[in-house]
Structure 1
Amino acid sequence: MNFQQLRIIRETVRRNFNLTEVGNALATSQSGVSKHILDLEDELGVELFVRKGKRLLGLTEPGKELLTIVERILLDTKNIKQLGAQFSQADKGQLTIATTHTQARYALPNVVSQFKKKFPNVHLALHQGSPQEIVELLLEGRADIGIATEALEGIPELVTFPYYSWHHTVVVPKGHPLEGKKNLSLEEIAEYPIVTYHEGFTGRKSVDETFSKAGITPDIVMSALDADVIKTYVELGLGIGIIASMAYQSDRDTKLSLLDVGNLFEDNTTRIALRKGYFLRGFAYEFIELCSPKLDEAKVKAALKPESDIDLD
C-alpha cells in the first residue's frame, strides 16, 4: 500500500469514476491507475469498486469505508507539511481564499491590504467561484478559507463563523421615476423590470422569499453573478437593480441612484468557513482575525477540532 494508491482512490471518486480524468489529474496513465486499484484490492482482499465490465460505477461498502480513512490520511499528510512550513518559514507560503465575486470585490479589499502589509512574503490567492464551488475547494483541501453567504452551513466537515451582516437595496438610473421617493413598497418596485443576482448567489433566495411572502411575482428580466454586471445593465436602462448594500459606491456609481427601501429586505449573513481537522498556518488565523476581531486564534482552533459539530454564531 502506498500514497499514490490512496490518492487514486480519492481522485477516482472526485472524477466520477472516470479513470482517464484520474490519470490526467495525477500525471499518470489510465492503465497505471487501473493497475494501482487492482494491486490495492489484491492486497486488501476485497473489491473497492462496483464494476460493469471494465467501467467503474461506484464504491462497494468496503470502498466507502476505505474512502473515509483515505480522506483522513491524506488530510493529515497535508497537515504535517503545513506544520513543518509553519515552524521553518512562519512568514512565507501561500494562503488560498475561496470566495464569490461580491466578497472579493466589496468586502475583502481592506482586509487583503492589511494582510499584505503584515505578511508581504505570503502569496495570497483569491479563487472566485460559486458558493458550491467554494465548498468543494474546502473539502478537497484546495482552499484554506472559504467566504460566502450561501451553501457553507450544515456541512459536517466544515465549521463556519459569521463574518458580517448586510441587506439588499435597490438602484436605478439617474432620472428614473422612482428616484427620490421615500419608503418604497415592494409593490412599487415590482412595477418595473428587475435585474438581480442569479439563483444561489448573494442572497437571491431571500429576495425571492421577500416577494413571495408578499404575494408578488416580480418581473426579473435578467440575472447575473455579480453586482458590477447588474449595475452595468441598470445603467443601460434594462431595469432597476436589486443588489447587496455594500455593492453601491456613490463615488463610482455616478450614473445610478440608491433608493430608500427602508427594511423591505431581510438581513443576510456572510460566513467564513474552514474544514474541520485542517491545519492552518499562523498567517491564516491572522487573516481571519482581520476579517472579524472576535475570531481569535484560540476560538477558531477550538472549532476546527474534528469532533466539533456546530457552527459558531
Structure 2
Amino acid sequence: MNIQQMRCVMAILDHNLNITEAADHLNITSAGLGKQLKSLEIELGMAIFVRHGKRLIGLTEDGGNIIESIERLLVEAEGIRSFAQQARHPKFGKLRIAITADMSVESLRSSISEFARLSPHTEIDIAVIPTDAIDRAIVRAACHFALSGSSMRTSPAVAAFPLYSGPLVAVVRGDHPLADGKAAGAADLAGYPLVAGCSAAIRRRLEDALTSAGVAAAFRLQTTDAEMIERQLRSTEAVAIVGAAAVPPAWRHRLVVLPIALHDLAPFEMWLSVGRAAALPDQALAFLDILAPHLAARRLAACLRDGVDQRPEAPVGWPQDISTP
C-alpha cells in the first residue's frame, strides 16, 4: 500500500467515479490508474468500488468504510512532507489558505501584511472555495487550513474552531433613502429589493429574523462577487446584506455601510477548519497567532493532538480593522 494508490482512490471519488478525469488530474494514464487501484484492492483483499462492466458505479460497503482511513493517512502524509520541507528550508515555503467567498480576502488584509513583514520569504497562496468544499480541500491537503463564515464540518478528519463573531451590515448607494446612517430595521429592509452577499446559510438566518419581525424579504440576487453587488447597488435601490468582515475598504468611500437592527439576527462568524492529523507548519501557526492571538495556535495544535473539537468558548468580536464603521 502506498500514497499514490490512496491518491488514486480519492481522485476517482473527486471526479464522480470517472477514471479518465481522475487520471488526467493525477497526470497518469487511465491504464496506470486502473493498475494502481487493482493492486491496492488485491493487497487489501477486497473491492473498493462496485463495477458494472468496465465502469465504476459506486463504493462497496468495505470501500465506504476505509475512505475515512485513507483521508486521515493522506493528511498525516502531507504533515510529514510539510515538516520535512520546513526542516530543509526553515525560512522559505508556501502557506496555503482556503477561504469561502463570504469571508473576503479583505478581512485578512492586515494579518497578511503583518505576516509578510515577519516572514518575507514565505509565499501566501489564498484560494476561494465553496463552503461545502472545505473538508475536501483540507483532507486532500490542498490547504493548510480554511476560514469560513460557518462551520460545515462533515468529515471526522477535520476539526472546526470559532475565531470571531461580528454583525451583518446593510450596504446602499450614497443617495439611497436609507443612507442616513441610521440602523436599518425590518421595515426598512422589507421596503427594498435585497442582495444577499453571503452564503445560503447566512441568508436563511436573515430570512428567519425578518419573518420573526413580521415582514417578508424580497431577495433579488445572491452572490459574493463584490463587483456584481456594487453594480446592483448603483443601478437600483437594492440593499446588500454582507458580513462586516466582507466589506471591501473601497466600499466605505463609494457606498454607505449601515448597522442592522434585528434582534433575532444571528451574527456573522469566522470559523477555522484544520485537519485533525495534520502537523501544521510553523508558518501556519505564525499566521494564526497574528489573525487570532486569543486562539493561541500552539494550544490549537494541542487540541488537535488531544482530539478536542469546537471549543465551547464564545468567539470574540471582530478585530478593529474588520469591524463595522
One-letter amino acid matched to 2:218: D
Matches within 5 A, 1:78-157: 78-153=78-153, 155-157=155-157
Please list every run of 5 or more consecutive structure 2 residues that lacks an aligned counterpart in the other structure. 314-325
Q: What is the rounded CA distance, in whole Å, between the counterparts of 1:74 and 1:215 in structure 2?
A: 50
- Residue 85 and residue 38 in structure 1: after superposition, are their counterparts in 2 closer, same or farther (change >3 A)? closer
Compute the displacement of 1:308 (Å): 1.3
Compute the displacement of 1:87 (Å): 2.1
Matches within 5 A, 1:262-281: 262-264=261-263, 265-281=265-281
* More deviation, 144-153/117-126: 144-153
One-letter amino acid matched to 2:148: A
Tell me the percent identity.
Answer: 24
1:6 aligns with 6
- Residue 309 and residue 156 in structure 1: after superposition, are their counterparts in 2 closer, same or farther (change >3 A)? farther
SS, match of residue 103 in structure 2: helix
Compute the displacement of 1:117 (Å): 0.8
Compute the displacement of 1:102 (Å): 4.6
Matches within 5 A, 1:1-313: 1-153=1-153, 155-180=155-180, 182-197=182-197, 199-200=199-200, 203-248=202-247, 252-259=251-258, 261-264=260-263, 265-305=265-305, 308-312=307-311, 313=313
Q: What is the rounded CA distance, in whole Å, between the counterparts of 2:277 and 2:301 in structure 1?
A: 9
Partner deviation per Cα, 1:48-96 (whole Å, 9 max, x = no partner) = 2211111111222332344333333333222222221232222211110
TM-score, normalisation: structure 2: 0.85
One-letter amino acid matched to 1:234: L
SS, match of residue 216 in structure 2: coil
Q: What is the rounded CA distance, in whole Å, between the counterparts of 2:182 and 2:46 in structure 1?
A: 70
Partner deviation per Cα, 1:211-255 (whole Å, 9 max, x = no partner) = 122232211112212444323321222512222234456875444
Q: What is the rounded CA distance, in whole Å, between the counterparts of 1:262 and 1:39 in structure 2?
A: 61
Runs of 4+, deviation exceeding 6 Å? none
Q: Is the 8 A contact 1:131 1:200 kept in 2?
A: no
- Residue 279 and residue 3 in structure 1: after superposition, are their counterparts in 2 closer, same or farther (change >3 A)? same
Q: What is the rounded CA distance, in whole Å, between the counterparts of 1:174 and 1:214 in structure 2?
A: 27
Please list every run of 5 or more consecutive structure 1 residues that lacks an aligned counterpart in the other structure. none
TM-score, normalisation: structure 1: 0.88
Q: What is the rounded CA distance, in whole Å, between the counterparts of 1:248 and 1:45 in structure 2?
A: 54
SS, match of residue 103 in structure 1: coil
* More deviation, 90-99/220-229: 220-229
How many residue pairs get matched? 311
- Residue 212 and residue 140 in structure 1: after superposition, are their counterparts in 2 closer, same or farther (change >3 A)? farther
Q: Is the 8 A contact 1:97 1:125 kept in 2?
A: yes
Q: What is the rounded CA distance, in whole Å, between the counterparts of 1:64 and 1:157 in structure 2?
A: 15
- Residue 103 and residue 40 in structure 1: after superposition, are their counterparts in 2 closer, same or farther (change >3 A)? closer
- Residue 212 and residue 45 in structure 1: after superposition, are their counterparts in 2 closer, same or farther (change >3 A)? same
Tell me which structure has the larger Cα radius of gyration: 1
